[in-house]
């Protein structure tokens, strides 16, 4: 989509649709004790911008607002033909809900809704005006609007015969006040680059298990590296064996040699001084059958999503490579493995020696993610010695049980890091909730014949999984673990996210890094 910035004068532009956002608490007059007399007055007083438009339309706009009971509630809209009285053929009012939240979400969602509503009216181009209520910086509003516009077009149509795009609109003009034209253009570019990263992460999750082997994943990562200026190194199984990543290789074994494991490293280095080195590690289980502890059919059905952590990390790296934040170096690892079944599969009861040296008794082959992640985390910490390591994984069904399927779990002992991630999540419109690294549960992982077991009891399963990973974390680095099992796939759509792979986390990681620069 072509997205441009404009000032308030752009309200006069020739366009198919002018979409105007209205916040609910600004649409209605402050609630006074109404007498019969004042109740007969129009229920709405739109902001100052509406007056000239209403005047140009001979008072029709505010009249329709009253007749249709438009209050600016989220999901509400109103459309009006202008009969050539202004530059736009149609006006659409888009309800944005309350403006009391201190985040960019109404701008992201409102812009995406504007595109869909305009598209339903057959528009090819749309001018979007969402009022600046001063909750957040104007540039961040524009950035979120661009992200929303771009993602409103997302559709995974690779396997559909009918390639009709999700929206008709090809061009959006974003009006903003309180920000210079050059800053607005830069914000639009950033919003589109983040959206591109999110879309990439969605494509990877939506791809079929057959279509995304570890080798194919690595190929796609190389392409991202070329496009976004990132250095990419791919480790094959020979190299992984030389690096003693034996837990990762045990998980992969039943799928080798057909779909052998790959660990991909991507590097972003800023020009100028590096003040902080951040490492991301993503779980890239291209398919999780459960292994010999095989999953029941219903539990296996969606298990192509089990690479969403790696997908989100690759999406973030794509955006970071293009946004080019200063002063931060970012190194990413994608642990791309299939958890298959076969005569060569690793067994429940096996004892594996991790790269770090800790021995692990496998009491469930379906708790494979932590085995793969532990070896990758240890590799990253010993090779890169980063200041911060954030790992992202669809690690446990238990996290979904705890938080539902729209919220990710955050685990960290460094409260400032947890807060920074939650803050970046809020900017990105992605929901995170902190869960405790509760030492009382660690006893569940005690083994009689090895240093540790790979699973504990059912209760607190997302916490024991996090505690397992923590054993592989070097105390010198700040560490956070993000369990995205729930939100990796959207079970419901919204204006900028269709059902399916959500690309969850890519926008948050990108904004986290931008916030450190």
The one segment of 155-163, 250-258, 379-387, 395-403 that binds ligand BES by CB under 6 A: 395-403
Among 253, 355, 370, 422, the one annotated catalytic: 370
Closest CB to Mn ion: residue number: 366
The one segment of 157-165, 249-257, 344-352, 396-404 that binds ligand BES by CB under 6 A: 396-404
Q: Does 126 sit near ligand BES (CB under 6 A)?
A: no
Residue 30 DSSP label = P
| The only residue of 139, 398, 408, 490 in contact with ligand BES, by rule CB under 6 A | 398
Q: Is the dihedral of CA 458, 460, 466, 468 positive or negative?
A: negative
Closest CB to Zn ion: residue number: 288
Beta bridge partners of 453: 361
Give the CA count within 13 Å in the CB-facing half-sphere of 461.
18
Find the shortest distance in angstroms from Cβ 359 to ligand BES: 19
From residue 399 to residue 418, what is the string marking binding to ligand BES with x (rule CB under 6 A)? -x------------------
Nearer to ligand BES, 91 or 485 (CB): 485
CA–CA separation, 27 vs 47, rounded Å?
8
Residue 335 contacts residue 284 (beta carbons within 8 Å) = yes
| The only residue of 461, 498, 503, 505 in contact with ligand BES, by rule CB under 6 A | 461
| The only residue of 306, 384, 430, 478 in contact with Zn ion, by rule CB under 5 A | 306
> 44: which 2 tokens?
């709405």
381, containing H or E segment? helix 369-384
| The only residue of 97, 369, 460, 487 in contact with ligand BES, by rule CB under 6 A | 369
Residue pointed to by tokens 């999901």:
75
**Binders of ligand BES among 303-332, rule CB under 6 A?**
306
Find the shortest distance in angstroms from Cβ 486 to Mn ion: 15
Residue 454 contacts residue 360 (beta carbons within 8 Å) = yes
Distances (CA, A) of 365 to 251, 307, 437, 455, 513: 8, 17, 23, 9, 34
Give residue 283's Cα distance to chain centre. 15
Which one of Zn ion, Mn ion, ligand BES, none is in contact with 478 (Cβ closer than 5 to 8 A by kind)?
none
Among 295, 324, 353, 413, the one annotated catalytic: 295
From residue 474 to residue 493, what is the string marking binding to ligand BES with x (rule CB under 6 A)? -----------x--------
CA–CA separation, 441 vs 460, rounded Å?
8
Q: Does 348 sit near ligand BES (CB under 6 A)?
A: no
**513, 505, 499, 490: which is closest to 431 by C-alpha?**
505
Alpha helices in 121-180 (DSSP H): 138-151
Which residues lie near Mn ion (CB under 5 A)?
288, 366, 368
Find the shortest distance in angstroms from Cβ 239 to ligand BES: 24
How many CB atoms are located within 10 Å of the residue 476 CB? 10
3-state secondary structure of 283: strand
Residue pointed to by tokens 């083994």:
447
482 Cβ partners below 8 Å, 6+ apart?
Answer: 309, 390, 391, 392, 393, 408, 409, 410, 411, 421, 432, 505
Nearer to ligand BES, 485 or 514 (CB): 485
How many CB atoms are located within 10 Å of the residue 402 CB? 19
Find the shortest distance in angstroms from Cβ 516 to Mn ion: 32
Site size toward Zn ion, by CB under 5 A: 4
Q: How many residues are given for the chain?
A: 517
| The only residue of 168, 265, 394, 412 in contact with ligand BES, by rule CB under 6 A | 394
Residue 280 contacts residue 333 (beta carbons within 8 Å) = yes
Which one of Zn ion, ligand BES, Mn ion, none is in contact with 360 (Cβ closer than 5 to 8 A by kind)?
none
Find the shortest distance in angstroms from Cβ 337 to Mn ion: 11
Does residue 166 have an active-site annotation? no
Does residue 124 have an active-site annotation? no
Which one of Mn ion, ligand BES, Zn ion, none is in contact with 398 (Cβ closer than 5 to 8 A by kind)?
ligand BES
Nearer to ligand BES, 397 or 423 (CB): 397
CA–CA separation, 411 vs 420, rounded Å?
12
The contact set with Zn ion (CB under 5 A) reads 285, 288, 306, 369
- Active-site positions? 295, 370
The contact set with ligand BES (CB under 6 A) reads 288, 306, 364, 366-369, 394, 396-398, 400, 455, 461, 485
């Amino acid at each position: 989509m072509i997205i441009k910035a404009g000032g308030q004068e752009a309200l006069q532009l020739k366009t198919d649709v002018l979409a105007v956002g209205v916040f609910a608490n600004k649409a209605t007059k402050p609630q006074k004790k109404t007498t019969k007399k004042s109740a007969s007055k129009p229920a709405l007083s739109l902001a100052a911008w509406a007056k000239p438009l209403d005047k140009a339309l001979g008072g029709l706009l505010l009249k329709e607002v009253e007749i249709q009971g438009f209050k600016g509630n989220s999901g509400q809209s109103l459309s009006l033909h202008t009969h050539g009285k202004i530059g736009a053929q149609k006006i659409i009012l888009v309800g944005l809900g309350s403006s009391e939240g201190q985040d960019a979400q109404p701008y992201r969602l409102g812009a995406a809704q504007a595109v869909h509503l305009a598209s339903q009216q057959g528009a090819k181009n749309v001018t979007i005006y969402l009022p600046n209520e001063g909750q957040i910086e104007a540039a961040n509003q524009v950035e979120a609007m661009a992200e929303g516009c771009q993602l409103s077009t997302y559709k995974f149509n690779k396997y559909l015969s009918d390639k009709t795009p999700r929206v008709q609109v090809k061009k959006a003009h974003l009006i903003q006040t309180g920000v210079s034209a050059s800053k607005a253009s830069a914000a639009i570019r950033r919003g589109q680059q983040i959206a591109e990263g999110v879309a990439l992460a969605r494509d990877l999750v939506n791809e079929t298990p057959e279509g995304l082997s570890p080798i194919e994943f690595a190929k796609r990562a190389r392409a991202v590296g070329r496009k976004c200026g990132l250095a990419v190194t791919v480790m094959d199984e020979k190299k992984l064996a030389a690096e003693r990543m034996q837990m990762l290789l045990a998980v992969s074994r039943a799928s080798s040699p057909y779909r052998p494991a790959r660990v991909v490293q991507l590097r972003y280095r800023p020009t100028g001084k590096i003040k902080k080195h951040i490492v991301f590690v993503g779980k890239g289980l291209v398919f999780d059958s459960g292994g010999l502890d095989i999953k029941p059919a219903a539990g296996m059905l969606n298990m192509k999503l089990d690479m969403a952590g790696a997908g989100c990390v690759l999406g973030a790296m794509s955006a970071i490579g293009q946004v080019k934040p200063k002063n931060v170096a970012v190194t990413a690892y994608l642990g791309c493995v299939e958890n298959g079944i076969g005569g060569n599969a690793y067994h429940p009861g096996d004892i594996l020696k991790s790269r770090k040296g800790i021995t692990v008794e496998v009491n469930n082959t379906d708790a494979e993610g932590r085995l793969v992640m532990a070896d990758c985390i240890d590799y990253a910490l010993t090779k890169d010695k980063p200041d911060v390591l954030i790992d992202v994984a669809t690690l446990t069904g238990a996290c979904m049980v705890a938080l539902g399927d729209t919220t990710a779990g955050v685990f960290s002992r460094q409260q400032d890091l947890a807060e920074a991630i939650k803050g970046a999540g809020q900017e990105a419109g992605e929901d995170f909730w902190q869960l405790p690294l509760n030492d009382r549960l660690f006893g569940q992982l005690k083994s009689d014949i090895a240093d540790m077991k790979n699973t504990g009891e059912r209760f607190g399963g997302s916490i024991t999984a996090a505690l397992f990973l923590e054993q592989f974390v070097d105390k010198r680095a700040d560490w956070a673990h993000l369990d995205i099992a729930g939100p990796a796939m959207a079970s419901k759509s919204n204006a900028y996210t269709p059902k399916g792979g959500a690309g969850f986390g890519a926008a948050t990681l990108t904004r986290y890094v931008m916030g450190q620069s």
